Structure 1
Amino acid sequence: MEEKWLRYFDQQQARRPAVLRQLMLGKVTSSVAFWAWTYDWLKYYYLNPHLKKEIFDQEIKNLQKKGYLSEGEAGMVLTNQGQAFLAATQTGICIQKPELFGRINMKLWPEALALWVQVCSELSYSNSHYRVLSQRIFLQNQVKMVLQQVDKAQFVVDFSQALDAFLAQEKPQAALAFALLLAGHQQTGFTQTQVAKKVGWTPKQVEVNYLDMVSRLGEYFLQANDKLKCLVEPYLRRNVLFSEPAQESYRLFLKGYSRQKIAQLRGVKISTVNDHLLLAAILYPDFDRKQAFVQAADREILRQYYHGSPEKWRYKDMQQKRVDVEFIKFRIYQIQKMREVGYGQTTTIFTN
């Protein structure tokens, strides 16, 4: 349903769909990250790594044809008609923490969790003769490795108590829809269609609810239960927004190395280092807090040329006047000024 894209747009702020597409695919440059940060989209990083460009672009065009989105020079805005459609179709069933999809491998973790539920259920009945849900050798080996290191009876208790505690904090209907999909001892689990009929939802709503709860249960195990975080750790992503190479460039920067020296030490181009530092400026509010990167002379030039809403500043405006300030300094100054007026209050930092 292409209308799902409407909730990413706003009636006042124009937004570029291509930024959302690249972000969800995990193909992030400093430019994509900047605009995603501006739109409060960083939390959607790697949310849909299998998104097809052609399908996405066509669906956005269809929303324009329906009058739900309107395109201007700065991007797309949600129309009154689009807002009315959203208001009339909101169900409250959504991915509550999309940022977790950038941290947890949501291809393997849901399958791993289903396997753990089955294994613990069968263990509670002392049954060792059953057909396991997953045929992935990697997942089976992870289960075997953990069970070899724990008291199985106590582990089953810990797992069951943690799962019950998590479900108890959820809305009853959502918890039921989630639990019905799980298989255990002499229980095959419902299909999404069967669950939909049971709780009065659509199959798609059942799917979204399940993925939402699986991702948040993974976070729950990681944060709230030291005994169970080992179940999730094998599925934590290393394809993160602020990658290890970017972090290394930033660490050297914090030690006082110049960009040229960082590029030399790491064997990369200065443009790569610039990209890393721009990501750091976006993700870390205290970047260049001593104003050593954008120095006084450059700040004075930028102050003279740029006024009004910093989101609308464009580097090309200064280029046309033949003013010599590096793009990276312009962008970092712009980011700092945007923070001063409230941008980036909900930024999620993705690190290894």
Structure 2
Amino acid sequence: MLQHIVLFCIDRFRGERSLAAIDHLLNGKKTAQTLQDSKWYDVSRLFGMVPIDRSRLFDVARALEADGFISQVDEHIYCTTESGKEKLRRFILPPYIDGWKYMNESSLFWKRLSLLIQTIANIIHRTSFEPIHRDEHIQSFVKRWLFQHTHIKTLARSLYEEMYELLSYVEEKDANIFVWRLTSHERIGWTNEQIAYAINEEDVAVLLSFQNVLHFMLEMTEKETEKFPLLYSLRERKRSQLTSSAQKTWELLKEGYSLEQIAQLRGLRKGTIEDHIVEIATYIPTFVSTPFLEENKRKRIIQQARQLKTKKLRAIKELLPDVSYFEIRLALARWEREDA
């Protein structure tokens, strides 16, 4: 599975990004470049989905090259070969995985749900227990939530029915993996590694199966709130897709501050604020880029990107020496959003 994931990323990056970019994507590094790449190259579903060491990533790349699935075009930069593309034709990402959409929510939802199930099971069986999550915020949430639902056995039955229905929609193997992760009054939930060993499966495949179910639950509870009220109530209030720092810049932009004024007010480099503006252009439909990018320049940048069939900044810059890298990134961000 990991080989397929890395090969998929290399294919999408088309020789325009290095292995470091794949490392940042799979580990969910929230830099401006990684956030933009995830959208530009249509790999946002994998954002933060496969946390791996860089050494393991490089080992996988070497194995793919040795097997003839990729070829090196520059230092740590690869393209897929014909046999690599053929290998990818048989690969399908788990259908509900969406790392970018749920990056701020899935972990929190899982911690709340798993601690709640552990707590209910032990209350019903009158056994003492050690909470599986030490985070005081998670524990406080579960305590408050239970305080609002006094009939524990009725609650347990209703929660079971909601989960049973959702799990009945996914592959049996994925459902089993999700259940094995849960802790009850009798057993501690297994880790992904323990499950992988037990079913003779790759750890990354187990991780993605688990995340696939988790994201499916989030999707369905959002679509059918009234059908799954208990699970929906465990969700966090919807957050902005912007990083917290970019959100602060966006608030100041809406108040009429210029790029330079924001940099001075926040004590940040101009380049950092430019990163924020590109991020804002990517994710905020109402954002107007004309104060930072002339319409004539925007059209020329998009024209070159189309002709070159690339989003590689340097290649576009070489043909348009009068535009800045910031203007190129801003034009591409807006283009990506409008084409989405």
1:202-228 deviations in Å (ceiling 9; x for gaps): 364444322321343355556624544
Question: Pairwise mapping of residues 215-226 of structure 1 onto structure 2 (< 5 A)?
Answer: 215-218=215-218, 220-221=220-221, 224=225, 225-226=228-229
1:216-247 deviations in Å (ceiling 9; x for gaps): 3355556624544453439x9x8x86212211
1:83 maps to 85
Change (3 A) 1:313 1:285: farther
Question: Structure 1 regions of 5+ residues with no counterpart?
Answer: 346-352
1:305-339 deviations in Å (ceiling 9; x for gaps): 77614635645765687x44333223222444456
> In structure 1, what is the Cα distance between the partners aligned to 2:285 and 2:35?
14
TM (norm. structure 2) is 0.76
TM (norm. structure 1) is 0.73
Kept in 2: contact 1:263–1:270 (CA 8 A): yes
Question: Pairwise mapping of residues 282-301 of structure 1 onto structure 2 (< 5 A)?
Answer: 282-288=282-288, 291-296=290-295, 298-299=297-298
1:42 corresponds to which of 13, 22, 44: 44
1:349 maps to none
Question: Structure 2 regions of 5+ residues with no counterpart?
Answer: none
Matched, 1:267 2:267: yes
Query: Which residue identity lines up with residue 147 of structure 1 in the other structure?
Result: L
> In structure 2, what is the Cα distance between the partners aligned to 1:189 and 1:304?
54
Change (3 A) 1:32 1:303: closer
Q: CA deviation at 1:280?
A: 1.3
2:150 maps to 151
| Residues 149-158 or 59-68, more deviating | 149-158
1:231 maps to 234
SS of the counterpart of 2:310? helix
Change (3 A) 1:177 1:271: closer
Q: CA deviation at 1:105?
A: 5.7
Moved over 6 A (4+): 187-198, 303-307
Count of residues in correspondence between the two structures: 331
SS of the counterpart of 2:14? coil
SS of the counterpart of 2:271? helix
- The sequence identity of aligned pairs, in percent, is 21
SS of the counterpart of 2:248? helix
Q: CA deviation at 1:167?
A: 1.6
> In structure 2, what is the Cα distance between the partners aligned to 1:245 and 1:59?
34
Kept in 2: contact 1:110–1:211 (CA 8 A): no
Q: Root-mean-square deviation (CA), in Å?
A: 4.1
Kept in 1: contact 2:305–2:316 (CA 8 A): no
Question: Pairwise mapping of residues 10-49 of structure 1 onto structure 2 (< 5 A)?
Answer: 10=11, 13-16=14-17, 17-48=19-50
1:179 maps to 179
